[in-house]
């Protein structure tokens, strides 16, 4: 029998009618048609039009929050995909639609062992359910039974960027730029919707069958209209302002883009340490250094340094030009942002599929009685 490996989770925190799915995607066809009709316009204008349409739809969804429901009997359990801190992920097939999903299963009992996790779960469902972006995993259904809560997510078969990094031993600049540029477009969509992500790391970046990324896990995401002070995220990716609790908005997301870029190029975190205390000290005080034995362009080093600026008033992405300052940086000179968004660009990475494996479902939480009915009313 195949060995089941855990998905891994480096995150920590201090707080916190059925829809029929068709293979035909009218939204994507509409986007491609829009690109064709506006071929004489500048690519930046076409991209902005497409993005604004997505942002308008997101706001409408927030104003009329309706999340499609289902029940466990609607799905056939096919195999086990992995597990994280608060639950398991199974490959399932909708019996009527015949579509594959990744079903995130979380025990109510385990969630209630940390009340902050319940708030995080409900927040994750409410935010994730309204998101619709090519580089973000889609949430299709949410439901619950006596013992568990469930999120039926878009099935992404090729693992995550952390697994890909381990398998390849690191990435070239071209591959790193390809992956990071998709993260930037996903963050642009979130930030312009007043949503901060707060948990960027390779484990949360899934790879689809074509080799493109999908941002996953919105447990730490939050809609903000001012400063927030929550100590949360993944320790190696935390920004100085999170550690000092002096308040932040979008800054930690751009900091984590710098950490991600460094890690993909150099194979480890720029502030790697043996203990959390030492790690936090280095994040707040140490300068970024670049090992000479790995050859990286000056523009790559420059964008890393500017994203890892400890002073938020000088950090790339937070200046007057916002995300455009990042996208216009020299390192992205060769990036065609419109072609990337509509996935008409070349893909420098060949993904490897990770099939589901057989696993005993006897450990799946069950209960004859309805558990924590009042606590989970809002789920």
Whether 336 is a known active-site residue: answer no
**Phi and psi torsions of 4, nearest 5°:** -90, 125
- Report how far residue 45's alpha carbon sits from residue 348's, in angstroms, rounded to the nearest whole number: 26
- Report how far residue 201's alpha carbon sits from residue 221's, in angstroms, rounded to the nearest whole number: 14
* Cβ-based burial of 88 (10 A; exposed 0-12, middle 13-18, buried ≥19): buried
CA atoms within 13 A on the CB side of 113: 7
**Residue-by-residue DSSP string for 306-323:** HHT-SSGGGSTTSSTTTH
The DSSP code for 42 is -
Q: Check whether 378 is labelled as a binding-site residue.
A: no
User: Which residue in the list 199, 208, 217, 235 is annotated as catalytic?
Assistant: 199
- Per-residue 3-state assignment (H helix, E strand, C coil) for 153-201: EECCCCCEHHHHHHHHCCCCHHHHHHHHHHHHHHHHHHHCCCEECCCCC
- Report how far residue 165's alpha carbon sits from residue 142's, in angstroms, rounded to the nearest whole number: 31
Q: Name the residues annotated as catalytic.
A: 199
Binding site as annotated, residues: 104
Binding site as annotated, residues for ATP: 104
């Amino acid at each position: 029998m195949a060995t089941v490996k855990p998905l891994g989770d480096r995150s920590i925190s201090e707080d916190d009618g059925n829809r029929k799915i068709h293979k035909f995607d009218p939204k994507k066809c509409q986007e491609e048609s829009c690109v064709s009709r506006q071929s004489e316009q500048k690519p930046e204008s076409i991209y902005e039009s497409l993005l604004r349409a997505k942002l308008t739809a997101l706001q409408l969804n927030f104003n009329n929050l309706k999340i499609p429901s289902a029940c466990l009997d609607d799905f056939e359990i096919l195999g086990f995909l992995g597990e994280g801190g608060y639950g398991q992920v199974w490959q399932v097939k909708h019996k009527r639609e015949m579509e594959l999903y990744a079903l995130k299963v979380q025990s109510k009992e385990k969630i209630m062992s940390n009340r902050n996790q319940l708030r995080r779960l409900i927040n994750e469902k409410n935010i994730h359910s309204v998101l619709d972006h090519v580089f973000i995993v889609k949430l299709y259904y949410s439901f619950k039974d006596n013992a568990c809560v469930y999120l039926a997510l878009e099935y992404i078969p090729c693992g995550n960027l952390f697994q890909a990094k381990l398998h390849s031993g690191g990435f070239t600049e071209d591959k790193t730029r390809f992956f990071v540029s998709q993260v930037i477009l996903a963050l642009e969509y979130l930030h312009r919707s007043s949503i901060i992500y707060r948990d960027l790391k390779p484990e949360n970046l899934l790879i689809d069958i074509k080799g493109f990324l999908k941002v996953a896990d919105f447990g730490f995401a939050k809609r903000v209209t001012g400063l927030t002070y929550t100590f949360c995220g993944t320790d190696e990716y935390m920004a100085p302002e999170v550690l000092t609790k002096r308040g932040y908005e979008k800054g930690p997301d751009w900091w984590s883009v710098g950490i991600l870029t460094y890690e993909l190029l150099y194979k480890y975190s720029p502030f790697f340490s043996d203990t959390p205390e030492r790690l936090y000290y280095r994040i707040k005080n140490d300068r970024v250094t670049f090992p000479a034995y790995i050859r990286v362009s000056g523009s790559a080093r420059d964008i890393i340094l500017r994203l890892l600026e400890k002073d938020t008033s000088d950090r790339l992405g937070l200046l007057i030009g916002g995300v455009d300052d990042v996208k216009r940086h020299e390192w992205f000179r060769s990036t065609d942002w419109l072609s990337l968004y509509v996935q008409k660009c070349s893909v420098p990475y060949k993904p490897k599929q990770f099939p589901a494996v057989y696993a005993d479902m006897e450990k799946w939480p069950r209960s004859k009685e309805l558990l924590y009915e009042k606590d989970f009313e809002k789920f």
